[in-house]
């Protein structure tokens, strides 16, 4: 059994919603690093008021990666219906999702804020990323896909 069609929910999510989220993240990485840092590290736990300018290159690189994700999702996936291509794109971005979730966990762990002292910013950042990650995993597992029989009939 196989499928050759990407279900509508995934098609809309990965070609429209996901690129908008990635583009928003890219812009934020380029122009509002303090907002990003504050999303997981409250000002009260930081030694400086703003992000050290010498560290901005890290955000600029992350912004570039998010732009690439936006182009792959919003461009490449619209240009093909090849399920293999879709799966490779989602697997690659899933690796970024896993890295992000690990970094969130590590940041909150270092602050002794795992689950007990979360702010709305923490819930929003982690919650959105977790939802997108689970959606990607569901797609890769072909949840919600219609299966069709393929193969040749035995003609004797």
Question: Is 123 inside a domain boundary?
Answer: yes
7: region left, alpha or beta (phi > 0 left; psi from -120 to 50 alpha): beta
What percent of the chain shows pLDDT beyond 70? 92
Q: Please check whether residue 147 lies inside any domain of the structure.
A: no
Average of pLDDT values for 12-27? Answer: 97
Asked whether residue 1 is assigned to any structural domain, the reply reads no
CA distances from 5 to 2, 11, 47, 145 (A): 10, 9, 52, 8
d(CA 64, CA 116): 33
List Cβ neighbours of 119 (8 Å cut-off, separation of 6 or more). Answer: 42
pLDDT over 90 percentage in the chain: 63
- The count of structural domains within the chain is 1
Q: Which tokens is 14 given?
A: 């990965």
Average of per-residue pLDDT across 86-101 = 98
Confidence band of 62 (pLDDT split at 50, 70, 90) = very high
- Whole-angstrom CA distances from 29 to 13, 54, 65, 127, 130 are 22, 14, 10, 19, 19
Instruction: Tell me the mean pLDDT in the region 2-21.
Output: 91
Band (152; pLDDT cuts 50, 70, 90): low
Across the range 143-151, mean pLDDT stands at 81
Paired with 2 in beta bridges are: 148
Q: Is residue 149 part of a domain?
A: no
* pLDDT above 60: residue 3: no
For 27-35, which contacts have Cβ atoms below 8 Å and span 24 or more sequence positions?
27/63, 28/63, 29/59, 29/60, 29/62, 29/63, 29/66, 30/59, 30/60, 30/63, 33/59
Domain presence at residue 17: yes
Arithmetic mean of pLDDT, 36-48: 80
Residue 22: predicted pLDDT: 97
- Section 4-10 average pLDDT: 90
Q: Is 145 inside a domain boundary?
A: no
Asked if the structure places residue 103 within a domain, the reply is yes
Over residues 28-49, the mean pLDDT reads 84
pLDDT at 156 over 70: no
Q: Please say whether the beta carbons of 86 and 6 come within 8 A.
A: yes
In a domain? residue 128: yes
| Token pair 């955000």: residue | 59
| Domain membership of residue 72 as a residue range | 8-140
Identify which has the larger pLDDT, 70 or 150: 70
């Amino acid at each position: 059994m196989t499928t050759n069609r990407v279900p509508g929910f995934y098609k809309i999510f990965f070609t429209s919603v996901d690129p908008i989220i990635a583009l928003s993240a890219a812009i934020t990485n380029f122009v509002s690093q303090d907002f990003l840092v504050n999303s997981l590290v409250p000002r009260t736990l930081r030694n400086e008021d703003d992000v050290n300018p010498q560290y901005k290159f890290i955000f600029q690189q992350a912004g570039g990666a998010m732009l690439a994700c936006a182009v792959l999702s919003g461009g490449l996936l619209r240009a093909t219906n090849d399920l293999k291509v879709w799966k490779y794109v989602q697997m690659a971005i899933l690796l970024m999702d896993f890295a992000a979730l690990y970094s969130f966990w590590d940041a909150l762990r270092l602050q002794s804020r795992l689950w007990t002292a979360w702010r709305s910013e923490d819930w929003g950042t982690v919650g959105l990323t977790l939802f997108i990650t689970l959606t990607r995993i569901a797609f890769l597992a072909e949840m919600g896909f219609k299966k069709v029989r393929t193969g040749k009939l035995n003609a004797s």
